[in-house]
Amino acid sequence: MYMDSPQEVRDAAVSAIAALGEPTRRRLYDHVVRQSGPVSRDEAAAALGLARQTAAFHLDRLADASLLDVFYERRSGRSGPGAGRPAKLYRRSANQVAVSLPDRRYELAGRLLAQAVEESDATGESVRAVLHRKAEEHGEQLGERTTAGVFDVLERYGFEPRREGEVIVLANCPFHALAREHTRTVCGMNLHLLRGVLSGLGEAGFEACLAPGPGRCCVRLQPAA
């Protein structure tokens, strides 16, 4: 099963955060997430001193932005004829929303590092060797599930590629803060990730190599020897 592309995920996150820019909507969201249980339209309207129609409109907008989950439940405790219609209830969505500018991928780094530690512990293989292999495998998967070219893939995943003659320089490191403090580990992971991307794309015209420099990613793509 393919996940949404990074651009689609990013667009959805930006839209969700933009939805909270409206003051009444933000108040409703804050009210819902502070409650221990789900909240109805009537309860939210009464708590914030809003017209029910206004509360319903903004709650539904928050649900459309995937910030709230919606479900229906009879609050009377009765069922069958005469029990009344189920109430529309809202609660915090299980989705996590995060936007970073410039683009950062710390969750990916954390996942790869955790996998490397666990497999190393189970097999005795060095953590660094496992990390490089896991990063390369993940990069191959990214490359295999797209029909775009290498430049487009790098752009999509936040590397901000720039052409300098025949070389592709990466203006942004998605693992920037980690790379500053753990340079050897994170840059090695990044190098193998991008080698995997090239392999998954079947791109034989470039090779990934370490070429650290100020204000850019430690990896660049240069014409294959």
Average pLDDT (166-190) is 95
User: What pLDDT sits at residue 83?
Assistant: 54
Average pLDDT (141-145) is 93
Average pLDDT (75-80) is 60
pLDDT band at 12 (very low <50, low <70, confident <90, very high): confident
pLDDT band at 1 (very low <50, low <70, confident <90, very high): very low
Domain with CATH 3.30.1380 in the chain: 106-223
CB atoms within 10 A of CB 124: 7
Q: Which DSSP string corresponds to 130-192? A: HHHHHHHHHHHHHHHT--S-HHHHHHHTT--EEEETTEEEE---TTHHHHHHSHHHHHHHHHH
pLDDT band at 103 (very low <50, low <70, confident <90, very high): confident
User: What pLDDT sits at residue 73?
Assistant: 87
Q: What are phi and psi of 224, to 5 degrees?
A: -65, 145
How many alpha carbons fall within 13 Å on the CB side of residue 205?
7
Q: Which DSSP helix (H) or strand (E) runs through 23?
A: helix 23-34
Average pLDDT (173-180) is 93
Q: Which DSSP helix (H) or strand (E) runs through 25?
A: helix 23-34
User: What pLDDT sits at residue 89?
Assistant: 96
The overall average pLDDT reported for the chain is 89
* Listed ranges 36-50, 61-75, 79-93, 144-158; the one with the highest mean pLDDT: 36-50
Q: What is the CATH number of domain 6-92?
A: 1.10.10.10
Buried-state track 7-30, b at ≥16 Cβ within 10 A, e below 16: eeebebbeebeebbeeeebebbbe
User: Would you say residue 198 has pLDDT above 70?
Assistant: yes
Q: Rounded to two decimals, what is the model's pTM?
A: 0.69
Domain with CATH 1.10.10.10 in the chain: 6-92
pLDDT band at 78 (very low <50, low <70, confident <90, very high): low
CB < 8 Å & 24+ apart, contacts of 131-136: 131/185, 131/188, 131/189, 131/192, 132/188, 132/189, 132/192, 133/192, 135/189, 135/190, 135/192, 135/193, 135/196, 136/192, 136/193, 136/195, 136/196, 136/199
Q: What is the DSSP letter of 125?
A: -
pLDDT band at 100 (very low <50, low <70, confident <90, very high): low
Best CATH choice for the domain 106-223 from the list 3.30.1380, 1.10.540, 3.40.1130, 3.90.1530: 3.30.1380
Residue 197 vs residue 86, higher pLDDT? 197
pLDDT band at 99 (very low <50, low <70, confident <90, very high): low
Average pLDDT (156-161) is 91
The tokens of 144 are what?
Answer: 């295999």
